[in-house]
Structure 1
Amino acid sequence: MQTMRDHPTLWIKGSTSASLAGKTIVLAVTGSIAAVRTVELARELIRRGAEVYAVMSEAASWIINPMALHYATGYEVITKITGAVEHVEFCGMSGKADLLLIAPATANTIGKIASGVDDTPVTTFATTAIGSGIPLMVVPAMHEAMYNHPALTENMEKMRSWGIGFIGPEIREGIAKIASNEEIVLQVERQLGSKELAGRKVLITSGSTVEAIDPIRILTNRASGKTGVELALEAYRRAAEVTIVHRNRIGFTGIKEIYAESASQMTEAILGELACDYDVLISAAAIADYTLDPADTKIKSGGELTLHLRPTAKLIGKARTEHSDLLIAGFKAETGTGLDELLKRAKDTMEASKLDLIVANDVSGSGIGTEDNEVYILTAEDSGHIHVKGSKKMIASALMDEIGHLLMSRK
């Protein structure tokens, strides 16, 4: 087999992140029509730094030509077991694979794996991986009637008892459809990630809140919630139990979402959740500072309108009062300040609110609603700061690094 550097399509390796850097993934493809999705799936795994090798059943090759996955992965596709004992090379006791990912997996293949039947390259790889203790993740895809068969349910439960993970499916249009590539990649990242937050519960507020003026009009702000979402995803990758409170929708399995629209709803939701023994609260939402009593009916347009605003309750103060041992991270957004003044205001807020960590940034030019940002991370334990400029995904990673260090220091 040629090396990665020999293939001209692999310039994308690590272009999105390094979350799977140094990991070798065997992508096993079976004879579902969803096999057409695997070219882009392989590319997404590679964009996160993984080396990907493909193995296909004969039925899969009727749907997608092996050349397509050769292109996608940079390696020749394994379509049969030869004297090179490919299944042992990758999934044997000293195999090079970190994960065997069967995507898509038909009902037939799942039944064979559960029964120890070994008659295709994919099932041979699965048998070997299970016997060697190499992680195996399965992504079902089939008609809903097949997915509802009691034998399939029993087979999946049996495989789960062996430690095999399942991703999806999504039940739509009478079909148990293959999970989205985004979902698959996230679950793979969690499986192969650091596990540094395993056993930790992380609660995150995200985005803007809205305060009703009347049944139609609202007061809000420009916060998009992108940073909060990236924080939730990053905490999940690191094996945390994650809850996010916002008025958006992520839709990833394993991340609990609570809808909250107004400042009072968000505060109530957070304080209610904190009763469930969280380790970390990250207050990334731009919670409204002011609210009002809304009109019961639409206010007629035309002429001047005066609104009477009153301050909202401060979430962090309530959380700190009720949970003195909770690790709390806050955000401080300013406009038009120099760096020294920004850092001073952040430190003052951190001390006044008894925060463990604060993220400060000047949003005059970017940050709100943008894909990237420039921030300064300060902790109560350190007099300095960390400067991070780049994507919000990068910023989330840096922030979770600091939170991980703070949690470790408390042990």
Structure 2
Amino acid sequence: MSPTTRIHFMDYLKVFLSCTVIIHHAGQPYGGSNGFWYVQDSGVDSDLGAFFGINAAFNMSLYFFLSAYFIPLAYKHKGNIGFFKDRLKRIGIPLLFGFLVIIPLIMFFYYNEYRGYPTLSFFEYYKNVYFGFGEQPLNWTGPTWPDLNFGHLWFIEHLLIYSLLYLLLMNLFKNIKLPKMAFIPNNKSIFIFAIIISFITYLVRTKYELDEWIGVLGFIQMEYAHFPQYLAFVILGITAAKSNWIHQISAKVGTFWLSFGILLIILNVIGLVPHSRGGWDGDSLIYAIYETFLCTALSIGLIELFQRKLNRKSKWVEILSKNTFCVYVIQTPVLMGIQYALISVPVSGYIKFGLASFLGIVLSHFISYFIIRKIPVISLLFSGNNPRRSEKFVARLNKKTV
């Protein structure tokens, strides 16, 4: 298989995962997420708990896998200094912009709309509440004080950290011959991988529950409950770039694990899976095993399926794929506007969920492609969304990864 064709199915997979993220956030006001969100719609009686559990089990882990896959290739192509500068420009600048502009704006909206405190100007909020230079209000509703956070940009923050850690490790151990890490994509190795990550996940969740976010070192936004899966898939992505094991997944193996993942989804939907946020009990162990096997099964199955069925060039998919980085950054404020507008619409929460999902996907891509990419000054803040730069980069990688 030529390297040119190898990249195409990943475009499809990136677009698919981007949509799952938007849909996940689109459903937040409509019941079952048990997490913090910026828009509250108390007039709905829907429950999307099963959807949230299924989607959260695999989509970000697989997103980490795809992102990590390109880390060694970029490092090999650019070298130490070039890789460092590239990561700071492509990831660091959008992250900083989001941290200083996008997140404060959406938290400012939440503060004035839902917290019940006297209305503040944006400057007052930005200084006194977001950065915490003012006094903490009585009966503070949180989720933290001050409001300073990365919000949905935590994924980009982690990706930058993993990239820089990779750079550090490559330099620390460049003169040491380490054993090559190779993942063999057969049923036995996949099962062993899932079992190991399941029990690590369970042990972590005995102390840290699902949706419990911690500020590691004061600035790394971390949900420990999913961290073993995320880290494992980052490592899998790096090994895939070095050994190309993803191209060795047989149709038989991929079909088996995808079918198994679908079976696990059905068991969840019909209520046969004991949900647990964490702890030492049996339900916590069962759910950690269930979620990890669901994550692994769907990830392996989707990688093989997309590679086998969608490994072809598509102009529209390439355009959408180039939008995914920018879309990820802007999709939360876009969805907030849609969800807030839907509050007064007299339809069920399920219909609102469908509308918010569809409009969120369409508008996020529209804004990214027709507005952000067309304004040079703004597009610099989303350098990961630069289409010409991306095409040149992929073309060079193709020559180096035959």
| TM-score by shorter chain over 0.5 | no
Q: TM-score, normalised by structure 2?
A: 0.22
Q: TM-score, normalised by structure 1?
A: 0.21
More helix by share: 2
More strand by share: 1
